[in-house]
């Protein structure tokens, strides 16, 4: 992981106009389209310092961030673009907050909104061609030296299916890592039916183009010392999760696996792809990211103030 000084030195300088132009091209790659009537002509207007686009046909006004992953954010656009650039390095929210000068909560929210956009990008692109599968377990055995003994005892191993499309040189072209019991799993998986054959079959049906039977893909044996491209990618993912975050719990594990797979699949084009999927992904709120509150019941206030006698009647 590069040092803070080297990251700061390598960060590009983004201008507001350049960021707006890039987001405009990502949101409307074929030119402006009114979200209400799909008309292609517009006026540019400004309201309270905001740049708005008014449709010449129906007079509907929309902003540059409306309908994108950035909608509703008060963080400057240039800081969003710096966060997109830094996601290529896979840094924590704490370091991101320090580098772009925002609060930790804002940095955490930005990172997870970007991961949400990456998840949508991943769902729209199934694996094709020669597909290899690897069944692995993420949990205690991978970062047992980093946490406390109490945390180790409560850590539940998470079954993960690693799949990839490979070229003729046995190099990764497109990588996917899916937690079997995660949000992209199935109800059958959550009921505990997570053996290797069933998990591989569900992975192929959901994430491989055409949903070929699992017997038509190459199955690899699990092992810490495997030398195939999938084994190496999995070890790199676990090492990144352990060294950068100290391990990830099951609630957000899938989002981090999607991020790692995205970086490894896109490589040099990761920033352009991330800007593009942010422009086409709808917003998600903080509550939508963290989920509903569980285990909390509202308490009814049992005390009632005694009624005071009406002094006027007296």
**C-alpha closest to that of 264 among 284, 289, 239:** 239
For residue 52, what pLDDT is reported?
93
For residue 3, what pLDDT is reported?
67
pLDDT in tens, 210-249: 766 554 688 888 877 788 999 999 999 999 999 999 888 8
| Close Cβ partners of 229 (under 8 Å, ≥ 6 residues apart) | 132, 164, 166, 170, 171, 172
The CA distance from 53 to 23, in Å, is 14
**C-alpha closest to that of 275 among 19, 13, 17:** 19
Q: Which pTM was predicted?
A: 0.84
The CA distance from 214 to 218, in Å, is 8
In three-state form (DSSP H/G/I as H, E/B as E, the rest C), the secondary structure along the chain is CCCHHHHHHHCCCCCHHHHHHHHHHHHCCCCCCCCCCCCCCEEEEEECCEEEEEECCCCCEEECCCCCCCCCCCCCHHHHHHHHHHHCCCCCHHHHHHHHCCCHHHHHHHHHHHHHHHHHHHHCCCECCEEEEEEEEECHHHCCCCCCHHHHHHCCCEEEEEEEEECCCCCEEEEEEEECCCCCCCHHHHCCCCCHHHHHHHHHHHHECCCCCHHHCEEECCCCCCCCHHHHHHHHHHHHHHHHHCCCCCCCHHHHHHHHHHHHHHHHHHHHHHHHHHHHCCCCCHHHHHCCCCCCCCCCCCCCCCCCCCCCCC
Strand order in the sheet with 42-47: 42-47, 50-55, 61-63
pLDDT per residue, tens digit, the chain (314 aa), is 566 778 888 889 999 999 999 999 999 999 999 999 999 999 999 877 788 999 999 999 999 999 999 999 999 999 999 999 999 999 999 999 999 999 999 999 999 999 999 999 999 999 998 899 999 988 754 445 444 555 555 557 889 999 999 988 888 999 999 999 877 765 444 444 445 678 888 898 899 987 665 546 888 888 777 889 999 999 999 999 999 998 888 889 999 999 999 999 998 899 999 999 999 999 998 888 887 665 555 555 555 666 666 655 55
**How many angstroms separate the first and last alpha carbons of the chain?**
80
For residue 276, what pLDDT is reported?
96
The Cα diameter of the chain in Å comes to: 98
The CA distance from 178 to 198, in Å, is 14
For residue 314, what pLDDT is reported?
53
Rg (CA), the chain: 24
For residue 212, what pLDDT is reported?
62
For residue 145, what pLDDT is reported?
47
pLDDT in tens, 22-32: 999 999 999 99
């Amino acid at each position: 992981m590069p040092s803070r000084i080297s990251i700061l030195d390598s960060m590009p300088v983004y201008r507001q106009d350049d960021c707006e132009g890039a987001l405009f091209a990502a949101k409307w790659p074929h030119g402006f389209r009114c979200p209400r009537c799909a008309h292609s002509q517009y006026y540019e207007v400004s309201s309270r310092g905001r740049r708005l686009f008014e449709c010449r046909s129906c007079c509907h006004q929309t902003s540059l961030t409306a309908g994108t992953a950035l909608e509703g954010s008060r963080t400057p656009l240039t800081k969003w673009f710096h966060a997109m650039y830094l996601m290529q390095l896979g840094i924590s929210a704490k370091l991101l907050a320090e580098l772009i000068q925002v609060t930790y909560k804002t940095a955490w929210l930005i990172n997870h909104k970007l991961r949400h956009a990456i998840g949508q990008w991943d769902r729209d692109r199934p694996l094709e061609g020669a597909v290899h599968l690897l069944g692995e377990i993420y949990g205690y055995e991978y970062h047992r030296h980093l946490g406390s003994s109490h945390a180790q005892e409560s850590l539940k191993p998470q079954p993960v299916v690693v799949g990839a499309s490979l070229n003729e040189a046995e190099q990764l072209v497109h990588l996917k890592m899916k937690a079997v019991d995660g949000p992209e799993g199935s109800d059958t998986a959550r009921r505990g039916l997570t053996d290797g054959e069933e998990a591989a079959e569900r992975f192929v049906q959901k994430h491989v183009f055409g949903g070929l039977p699992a017997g038509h893909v190459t199955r690899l044996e699990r092992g810490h010392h495997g030398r195939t491209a999938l084994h190496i990618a999995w070890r790199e993912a676990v090492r990144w999760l352990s060294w950068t975050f100290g391990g990830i719990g099951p609630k957000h594990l899938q989002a981090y696996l999607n991020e790692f797979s995205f970086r490894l699949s896109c490589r040099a084009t990761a920033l352009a792809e991330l800007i593009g999927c942010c422009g086409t992904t709808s917003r998600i709120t903080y509550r939508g990211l963290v989920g509903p509150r569980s285990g909390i019941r509202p308490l009814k206030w049992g005390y009632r103030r005694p009624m005071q006698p009406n002094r006027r009647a007296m």
